[in-house]
Chains A and B, each alone.
Chain A
Amino acid sequence: MKTAIRVDNVVKSFGTGEARTQALKGATLEARFGELLMIVGPSGCGKTTLLSVICGTLHFDSGRIEVFDHDLSTMTTGQITRFRCQHIGFIFQQFNLIPTLTAVENASVPLLLNGRHQRDAEAGAAAVLDQVGLGRRLHAYPNELSGGQQQRVAISRALAHNPRLVICDEPTASLDAATGKKTLELLKERALQPDRCVIVVTHDSRIFPYADRIVEMEDGHIIGIHDDPKTYHHA
């Protein structure tokens, strides 16, 4: 499979002086088109930092990150923002659905950010919501939906503008086991395409089998990349 993302010896630190902490200590990995890559590890190991530098929401100190052949270290903040807007979809741990917007309005946000008109954007968002089984709850507010339904709206929002990279941060952390599994099934069914890469950060071992590969992290280092998730058991 063709490489979608290349992370090469990336270092990222927080704080200054004695309080300086290295969150990433030379991380190196590749993510391929058509695969669901999971980044796993204990809390504080640098998973979320790695995810943040890959999607360009956080600057890194040194190393090199290429996303779809775009070298992030040579791009300006504005270019990265535009790149993110066009090519990356996000699924957050707390969903981050705007509570004062309906499901269809929430899902239409990435389309609006990409310059689509309101009517077009809502039509596009409604089609994706329909695909995830929320066709009848288009005009429901987040607080009127269950946790699983809210996550499905979040997935629809992430996929509405047909991005090439889908970033998921602990997508099952706020869900019960059954809903978490359903969410991953849905994600795999809807998000995974030959020209798309999905990266999931999680420490929920119940969803490990849904990964194509698992990247294991500890203390800012990548300590292992496992090609057979079904046999992987996190210590």
Chain B
Amino acid sequence: MLHIALKMLFRDRAKYAMLIGGLTFCSLLMGQQTSVFCGLMMWTTALVRNVSAQVWVMDAKAEQANEVIALRQIELVRVRSVPGVAWAVPLYVGIEQARLADGSFQNIQLIGLDTGTFTGRPMRLTAGRIEDLLLPNAVIVDQVAVEKFRRKGITLQVGSTFEVNDKEARVVGICHVSRSFLGQPYIYTTYDRALEYARSQRKMLTFVLAEPVSGVSPEALCDRINQLPGLRAVTLDQLFWETIWWYIRNTGIPISFGTVVLLGIVVGVAVSGQTFYLFVHDNLRYLAALKAMGARMPLLSAMVLLQAFFVGFVGYGIGMGLTAWFGNAVLRAEQPPFFMPWQVPAFVAAVILFICGFSALIGLVKIARLEPAVVFR
């Protein structure tokens, strides 16, 4: 009888199309918006992921990776003195202005890497070598810088020059790293040169990056460093999630995306739920006839559930397919942000299951209350 249920569904083309359309739209809206939200959150953690050190030490009041509260240079030595530290290096992070050849300005995110080890260096260089950072005035720019400069009519390549706070910067390499939340290009140089480029302040050290000795976990090392007054040490993972949660708590981004996702659920329930209810309602007379002919409630339930979950499966498949197509297209263009972890399709599947289950339940209640004798009236 289950194939009969599917035939009843497929051949009611108008309702079938409406059910699939509603669930596809619902899946697309939820999948796409949730993935864009996740992508945006990933942008907020770009620095953490690009530098990728095991232990991050910062000012005790700093709440997340993009909040720059500079430390005194002496803090580097204090961290190095903690038992269990294999090594500790400085990292400079600051927003500066680059002046282009035509006189226009571009905000940049300047990253100063430890001169001896280049800890936190970009892992994917598309031009040049990391060692070339040791050359005078050398910087490595990311693909966002190349793109932004290109839009201003300037071709940035190895050998190009521009100014950072009136000091010359010569491009010795081009890298590909995760783009920042505010979309500013990352410009890598050595720590010492970064201090020269940056506006001079009493405190210039942004982070101390550390690694534990063998046998000491990053968490244990963080606990030890946290004994030092004025410093806060967190693991890479902790900083990643602290940064994301800071943006969730302190910005309107989740509410904005959440509203759209909620709208998707409402549309799904309203359009698909109502259409399915109509579908069951229109077939009620025939379902009553089946009941009179000896179809038992478990069989009728199976038929209705199959119909509901089949349209859910197809709608979900098309919706997530369109989401993946959208993601593939925007990932090539690198914006808007898009990141689809497995939790997104799982979440959308759960919502679609709920919508289909809810729709089927309403239909089943109606069928359960249906007296087979109604066919004689």
Seen from chain A, the residues whose Cβ lies within 8 Å of a Cβ on chain B are 48, 51-52, 55, 57-58, 78, 81-82, 84-86, 88, 90, 92-94, 96, 98-101, 105, 109-110, 112-114, 118, 169
Contact = CB atoms under 8 A, between A and B. Distances in A.
B373 A86 contact: no
Contacts of A93: 376
B374 to A, nearest CB: 9
Contact of B3 (A85, A92, A96, A118): A118
Report the interface size class on chain B: 20 to 34
Interface in B5-33: 7-8, 10-12
A7 B375 CA distance: 22
Interface stretch (B111-119, B128-136, B260-268, B293-301): B293-301
A227 to B, nearest CB: 26
B371 interface: yes
Contact of A90 (B285, B292, B371): B292
B273 to A, nearest CB: 21
A179 to B, nearest CB: 21
B3 A110 contact: no
A118 B5 CA distance: 13
A98 B286 contact: yes
B1 interface: yes
Nearest to A53: B373
- For the complex of A and B, the 7 pairs showing the least CB-CB separation, nearest first, are A85-B294, A100-B11, A96-B289, A57-B372, A57-B373, A52-B373, A58-B373
Contacts of B12: 100
Interface of B: 1, 3-4, 7-8, 10-12, 283, 285-286, 289-296, 299, 371-373, 375-377
Contacts of A51: 376
A109 B290 contact: yes
Nearest to B16: A100
24 contacts: A48-B377, A52-B373, A57-B375, A58-B373, A81-B295, A82-B294, A84-B293, A84-B294, A85-B293, A85-B295, A90-B289, A92-B375, A94-B285, A96-B289, A98-B4, A98-B8, A100-B10, A101-B4, A105-B4, A109-B4, A109-B293, A110-B294, A112-B1, A118-B3
A52 B373 CA distance: 6
